[in-house]
Structure 1
Amino acid sequence: MNIHVFGRSHTYCLRKALAKQGPPLASDHFVIADTAELRKRKQEGVSDGQMLKDHFDKGSPPSRQFWFSWVGGNEHNLIGLMRHPRHFDFIHPQDPGLPLDPGAEILTYGLVKAALRESAGVKRSIETLTQARKAINAPLYQIEPPPPKADDDFIRLHLGQVFREQYGASAQVPDIAPASLRRKTWLAYCDVMREECAKLTVGYVATPPSVMDRDGYLLPQAYANDATHGNAWYGGEMLKVLSAIANGRQYPDIKDAA
């Protein structure tokens, strides 16, 4: 079974898991592509979709193909990881009991979703998915990004420079947004991507419960050494899900794979 995965930094955990433990099934042939590296070599006039198809066709034996996209997946962090100078919060309909940040301006769920949908990163992800859907005649799925990490101290310690510089954050004591807001912006981002995928007839792979705590945050054992990504153990759990979908098996941790 050919299982093709393309994207950027979120795919690194899959590479690490494959190097450490191999694929879930011996018959799984995983090929993982970094879209940024491929674009550097892309010929003028070639769409991203055709670029990906040409790349995967070269490196795969003839057999059935399943494609998984892990493009994007950081846009919610750009608005929800650091505390915005104009503090905001909102109620997410999936988890309305999450606390509101005292003193924050309360926005509507629709406004936050609209801001995410109009962000440059989401638009770029949808364009890549659109082109991939046109170029290939095989099942195509978008993978949900890792849930937020609940540990504020861990995030502060492992905060990347892009976030340290956001809003002029202090390098000594960065102003992290509340964990509840981090979860709500992640949920809103996932809602946007799920809706956009449905329009494109692209399946959506939600996060398996095996990597989340009971409150919906990423398990500490799944933390990579940064503020937002999952590690090799998390990558191994995601490989199980992708393998199960591609091979038509029922995997107990699949919540949503259309």
Structure 2
Amino acid sequence: MAGHVVSAIVIAGHSHRKALGVVRGDRAEAPALLPLDPEDRRFVGLSGGPKQAVYWDRLCTHASGRRIALAWEGNRYNDAFLLQGSPAFDLVVAELAHLPLRDNAVVVPERAVRARFAETGAGLAAFVERLAAHGPARVVLVGAPPPKADAARLAELIGIGAYGAKLAAAHSLDPHDLALTPATVRLKLWQVEQNVQRAVADRFGIAFVPAPAACADADGCLHPDYWAHDVTHANASYGALMRDEIANHFT
């Protein structure tokens, strides 16, 4: 197993790592490099919780000479904009210029939305610089899955989980009367957040691995076949596609 761990690509980072097969591990133990679930011998995952500083310390400790696939945030657009605020807004994003604007919506400039994700970019840049100092063989940045479009199914998932209540409290909304931001707007917001991350990757000369095109529906949102049973994450089928994309970037 030791030789396999050294040669395998290390997957680590925030919550989207779970779809890639990274296991949480024993919470009483320090983060460790463990086989994925289901096992894929091309990879190992760093167990533990990224909300703890020790998680990132351990990733740096393991970095020397290793290939690392880093999943960084990717849900800020949901945290900030999953629920419809007032006034309703829309934006134009170059990569998605074909998407129509909503009637009677306030159109905000893309740069204003990019500024909303500045903390994401700054945190990522700081950690990539820190990680580079520990001598990894190579690092790639793993993109996040696109948003989920089915409003009725999303409303059901919000109702059965804690995420909707958390967002409602954060935005001072009634948890029993939540309106979702339309999927076209969330898709644009997701694209802006991905652009912010890609810009950091370009700045440090590392590859950005976007969500596989095969996981998207006709409109560019996450196809239902790849939904996890929650509001924001993808499932193991998505993870299998994404691991192939990541492996291709290391060949």
Question: One fold, TM greater than 0.5?
Answer: yes
Give yes or no for the alignment of 1:219 onto 2:226. no
Aligned to 2:61: 54
Equivalent AA in structure 2 for residue 73 of structure 1? G
> CA separation of 1:200/1:56 partners in 2, compared to 1, >3 Å: closer, same or farther?
closer
> CA separation of 1:123/1:10 partners in 2, compared to 1, >3 Å: closer, same or farther?
same
Aligned to 2:44: 30
Could you give the per-residue CA deviations for residues 71-125 of structure 1, whole angstroms, max 9, x where no partner exists? 21111212331112332211111111212222221111122112222x3x44323
Could you give the per-residue CA deviations for residues 4-52 of structure 1, whole angstroms, max 9, x where no partner exists? 11112111112269423x21xx4x242334452662x47xxxxx4x641
Counterpart secondary structure, 2:176: coil
Aligned to 1:19: 37
Could you give the per-residue CA deviations for residues 209-255 of structure 1, whole angstroms, max 9, x where no partner exists? 11111211101011111111001111111122222222x1xxxxxxx
Whether the aligned pair in 2 keeps the contact of 1:142 and 1:204 (CA below 8 Å) is yes
Counterpart secondary structure, 1:168: coil
- State how far apart, in whole Å, the 2-side matches of 1:31 and 1:79 are: 28
Could you give the per-residue CA deviations for residues 174-196 of structure 1, whole angstroms, max 9, x where no partner exists? 11101111000001111111111
Determine which of 199, 206, 211 is the counterpart of 2:210: 206
Determine which of 7, 15, 21 is the counterpart of 1:9: 15
Aligned to 1:128: 127
Unaligned regions of 5+ residues in structure 1, if any? 43-47, 58-63, 249-258
Structure 1 position 197, deviation (Å)? 1.2
Q: Structure 2 matches for 1:1-258, cutoff 5 A?
A: 1-15=7-21, 18-20=36-38, 22-23=39-40, 26=41, 28-34=42-48, 36=50, 39=53, 41=54, 48=56, 51-55=58-62, 65-117=66-118, 119=119, 121-159=120-158, 160=163, 161-246=165-250, 248=251
Counterpart secondary structure, 2:21: helix
- State how far apart, in whole Å, the 1-side matches of 2:190 and 2:179 are: 18
Seq. identity, %: 22
Whether the aligned pair in 2 keeps the contact of 1:69 and 1:129 (CA below 8 Å) is no
Equivalent AA in structure 1 for residue 61 of structure 2? D
- Number of equivalences: 228
Whether the aligned pair in 2 keeps the contact of 1:164 and 1:174 (CA below 8 Å) is yes
Equivalent AA in structure 2 for residue 150 of structure 1? A
Equivalent AA in structure 1 for residue 167 of structure 2? F
Whether the aligned pair in 2 keeps the contact of 1:80 and 1:181 (CA below 8 Å) is no
Q: Stretches of 4+ moved more than 6 A in 1? A: none
The normalised TM-score by structure 2 is 0.82
The normalised TM-score by structure 1 is 0.80
